[in-house]
């Protein structure tokens, strides 16, 4: 009986407590308790503030230099962006193995831009907030636009390994923006000089009319070819729609009986043009400009390709005459696990070395100081050889390569030296 009484008494007390807790007074007490729990005391605020100060100081004093990389890893621009992007990372890792830069480790923050403006914009904002001292961007200015805008506002050095628009060289992108390639016109003229030097005197010329760079490349080839005294039996624009009608008819095929055929095109139009020429049974030697040199170009896509050469920025098979280019290919493979698929990879390695040299000379990563340092030098030695800016913000002179198709592989054949280089 005593045990049951104690249990009943306890139960009644419990019910009473529960009932009390559900009154208005109880609710007020609960809210007050909650507010007190969420509002830190003055001592807690001081502790939190001091903790934040410690974190900020730790970031500022951290022995690391951050650089941002925004490239397309998988979409429209990936066959042009990714190769130099990986090479850039490979070079930075090698610098870190050798002790870093200015006594600090270099950290690459790599973002996939996906060739989508919204993604690129978000990536730029994220990287700038993280305190990057350099932004490396896609090969296409239209896609780089969100980065350009934010980099300009934040005064962050901006560099593209492969953007060919004239705006870069003229400084119209930004005073802190640089590109590692020159105008396509220069490449077309160089190719004409090279073929003339080999003894060619007649040519057929085809250019992809859907891309400004390929148009400029072959128009420059044509103009230089004429100035040298060469003749051309065909000068024709092509694209995915018109190429079959331009190259296919029998009455036009005879005009391809020339010393060389020059093709200026990106991958899809270029491959179709080569397929049509070889499919018609013509074995005339073909030379393509550097616009065709991308990770998406495979000789296996063109049956009976035969005598085919391509202008490129570097050899990819360890056969380049410049040791630096071959080393950069090794550093590329250290990151990607496979050798470079395009000579375009070297542009990322050149960019890394240019920035590294400029920062070392300036003694700081400050964007304005580094930009002025780059502008003040006449030339730089980079993995691909000597490059020059000549008062502009894009490379005006560099040594190109001729790669030849040998058994389905594009192997190094010769250099195309810039005049006065």
CATH of the domain at 306: 3.40.50.2300
Tens digit of each residue's pLDDT, the chain (421 residues): 333 333 333 333 333 333 333 434 433 333 333 333 333 333 333 333 333 333 333 334 478 999 999 999 988 888 899 999 999 999 999 999 999 999 999 999 999 999 899 999 999 999 999 999 999 998 887 888 889 899 999 999 999 998 887 777 666 778 899 999 878 888 999 999 999 999 999 999 999 999 999 999 999 999 999 999 999 999 999 999 999 988 876 556 677 889 999 999 999 999 999 999 999 888 999 999 999 999 999 999 999 999 999 999 999 999 999 999 999 999 999 999 999 999 999 999 999 999 999 999 999 999 999 999 999 998 999 999 999 999 889 999 999 999 999 999 999 999 997 645 4
Instruction: Please report whether residue 34 resides in a domain.
Output: no
- Residue 53: alpha-carbon gap to chain centroid: 37
Instruction: Please report whether residue 17 resides in a domain.
Output: no
CA dist 339 and 108 (Å) reads 21
Instruction: Please report whether residue 41 resides in a domain.
Output: no
Same domain, 340 and 375: yes
Same domain, 68 and 176: yes
Instruction: Please report whether residue 329 resides in a domain.
Output: yes
User: What pLDDT score does 250 carry?
Assistant: 58
Q: Find out whether 136 and 156 touch, Cβ atoms under 8 Å.
A: no
Q: Find out whether 393 and 170 touch, Cβ atoms under 8 Å.
A: yes
Same domain, 190 and 301: yes
User: What pLDDT score does 102 carry?
Assistant: 97
Same domain, 145 and 247: no
Instruction: Please report whether residue 1 resides in a domain.
Output: no
Give the strand order in the sheet containing 400-406.
231-238, 202-208, 260-264, 286-288, 308-312, 400-406, 409-416
CA dist 142 and 213 (Å) reads 14
User: What pLDDT score does 73 carry?
Assistant: 92
Same domain, 223 and 273: yes
Instruction: Please report whether residue 159 resides in a domain.
Output: yes
**DSSP-assigned states of every residue in 204-223:** EEEEETTSHHHHHHHHHHHH
Q: Which residues pair with 109 in a beta bridge?
A: 68
Same domain, 124 and 261: no
Nearest to 90 by CA among 76, 69, 115, 63: 69
User: What pLDDT score does 52 carry?
Assistant: 36
| Domain membership of residue 359 as a residue range | 64-182+322-398
- Report in angstroms the alpha-carbon separations of 373 from 104, 376, 380: 20, 5, 11
Q: Which residues pair with 202 in a beta bridge?
A: 231
Instruction: Please report whether residue 50 resides in a domain.
Output: no
Same domain, 99 and 158: yes
Same domain, 363 and 306: no
User: What pLDDT score does 292 carry?
Assistant: 95
Q: Which residues of 316-345 are buried (b: 16+ CB within 10 A; e: fewer)?
A: beebbebebbbbbbebbeebbeeebbbbbb
Domain count along the chain:
2
Q: Does the model's pTM come out above 0.85?
A: no
- Report in angstroms the alpha-carbon separations of 1 from 13, 252, 313: 18, 117, 100
Same domain, 215 and 146: no
Nearest to 219 by CA among 189, 241, 256: 189
Same domain, 252 and 218: yes
Same domain, 116 and 242: no
Q: Find out whether 156 and 124 touch, Cβ atoms under 8 Å.
A: no
User: What pLDDT score does 241 carry?
Assistant: 96
Checking DSSP bridges between strand 400-406 and strand 409-416, what pairing results, if any? antiparallel
Same domain, 252 and 288: yes
- Report in angstroms the alpha-carbon separations of 341 from 151, 245, 298: 30, 32, 9
């Amino acid at each position: 009986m005593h045990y049951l009484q104690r249990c009943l008494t306890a139960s009644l007390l419990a019910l009473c407590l529960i009932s009390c807790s559900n009154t208005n007074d109880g609710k007020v007490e609960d809210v007050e308790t909650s507010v007190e729990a969420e509002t830190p005391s003055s001592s807690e605020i001081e502790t939190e503030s001091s903790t934040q100060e410690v974190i900020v100081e730790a970031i500022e004093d951290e022995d690391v230099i951050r650089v941002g990389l925004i490239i397309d890893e998988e979409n429209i621009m990936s066959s042009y962006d990714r190769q130099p992007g990986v090479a850039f990372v490979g070079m930075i890792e090698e610098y870190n193995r050798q002790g870093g830069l200015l006594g600090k480790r270099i950290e690459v923050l790599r973002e996939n831009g996906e060739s989508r403006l919204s993604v690129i914009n978000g990536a730029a904002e994220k990287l700038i907030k993280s305190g990057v001292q350099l932004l490396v961007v896609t090969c296409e200015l239209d896609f780089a636009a969100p980065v350009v805008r934010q980099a300009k506002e934040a005064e962050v050095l901006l560099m593209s390994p492969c953007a060919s628009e004239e705006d870069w060289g003229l400084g119209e992108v930004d005073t802190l923006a640089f590109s590692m390639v020159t105008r396509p016109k220069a490449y077309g003229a160089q190719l004409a000089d090279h073929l003339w030097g080999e003894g060619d005197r007649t040519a057929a010329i085809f250019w992809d009319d859907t891309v400004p760079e390929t148009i400029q490349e072959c128009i420059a080839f044509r103009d230089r070819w004429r100035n040298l005294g060469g003749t051309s039996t065909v000068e024709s624009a092509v694209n995915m729609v018109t190429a079959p009608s331009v190259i296919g008819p029998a009455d036009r095929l005879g005009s391809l009986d020339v010393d060389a055929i020059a093709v200026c095109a990106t991958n899809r139009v270029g491959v179709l043009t080569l397929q049509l020429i070889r499919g018609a049974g013509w074995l005339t030697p073909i030379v393509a400009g550097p616009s065709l040199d991308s990770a998406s170009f495979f000789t296996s896509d063109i049956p009976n390709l035969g005598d085919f050469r391509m202008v490129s920025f570097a050899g990819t098979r360890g056969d380049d005459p410049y040791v630096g280019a071959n080393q950069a290919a090794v550093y590329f493979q250290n990151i990607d696990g496979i050798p470079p698929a395009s000579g375009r990879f070297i542009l990322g390695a050149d960019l890394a070395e240019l920035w590294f040299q400029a920062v070392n000379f300036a003694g700081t990563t400050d964007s304005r100081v580094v930009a002025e340092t780059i502008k003040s030098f006449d030339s730089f030695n980079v993995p691909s050889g000597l490059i020059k800016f000549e008062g502009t913000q894009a490379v005006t002179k560099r040594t190109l390569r001729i790669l030849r198709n040998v058994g389905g592989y594009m192997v190094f054949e010769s250099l195309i030296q810039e005049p006065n280089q």
